[in-house]
Amino acid sequence: MIWDHRACELGEGAFWHPERGQFWWFDILKGVLHSRDGAEGISFALPEMVSAMGWATPDIAVVAGESGLWRVNLGDGSHRMLAPVAAGQPATRSNDGRADRQGGFWWGTMGKRGGGDPGFGAIWRWHQGRVRCLFPGLTIPNSICFYPDGRTAYFSDTLTHKVNRVALDAEGWPLGAPQVFLDLTAEGLLPDGATVDAEGCLWVAQWGAGRVARHAPDGRFLSAVAVDAPHSSCPAFGGPDLTTLFVTTAREGMAPEALVACPDAGKVFALEGAGRGLPEPAVRL
């Protein structure tokens, strides 16, 4: 079902705040952070494109933007720069991101022309007050999420059709080179945002396919849930018992006739009983 009727140009960054009991998401291209308080819509405009978040306290979030990480007050939208990153501005922006289970925050940056900027992308990590580039030379970094024990990270470079995994040490830093976890090349599927459920299964949105697919910890396809919009972009489990799957979608790149045929593109969908998620860990500031 449609959970929110505001249509985003590029809806992304689906996030359930476990302390506030509140769902948040972004319209990247408009630089807006959205939420709802009951039936009332909330929107905070930030000074640049923003795309992903983690929570530090009930009122303070860490938000990935074009020029680095922002510290954002979720009560009034006030914000200040936390950690600037020289990722190639003004040619680049942030994309997918998520907190790890060691108190850090991972996020991707990419060229503003998407696939037209090969190699402009990278994945970064904030941890204990410093930022480090983990994986440079990507194009569209996505699917950032973590196994329940915190010792494995997942990420994709969307246009490769592959989701990778990499082992992490006790502090959450990568150990060795990433390995391919999931190869969707044969199906022509494009992995976008992702999350991991309480059973350790990966749920990955597939851009252009209008669905979120669930894969076992060994990579086997288990099932998929559909939304009524082709560009499914990011899933997140939420609700009081974390059994509602929220899915952001986008209108970006759709022709006028496609938008007429699919008027719900760009809206947020909520699917009840799809699975059970895990609470998002806090980012340590």
> Which active-site residues does the annotation give?
192
Give the separation between CA 276 and CA 96, rounded to whole angstroms: 21
Q: What is the DSSP string of 97-140?
A: EEE-TTS-EEEEEEETTGGGSTT-EEEEEEETTEEEEEEEEESS
Nearest by Cα to 188 from 218, 158, 212: 158
- What value, to the nearest 5°, has the Cα angle with vertex 115 and ends 110 and 116? 95
40 Cβ contact list (under 8 Å, min separation 6): none
Nearest Cα to Cα of residue 35 among 20, 48, 25, 27: 25
d(CA 274, CA 25): 20
Cis omega (within 30 of 0) for bond into 148: no
Measured distance CA(88)–CA(93) in Å, rounded: 8
**Kindly report the CA angle at 152 between 120 and 246, in degrees rounded to 5?**
75
Residue count of the chain: 285
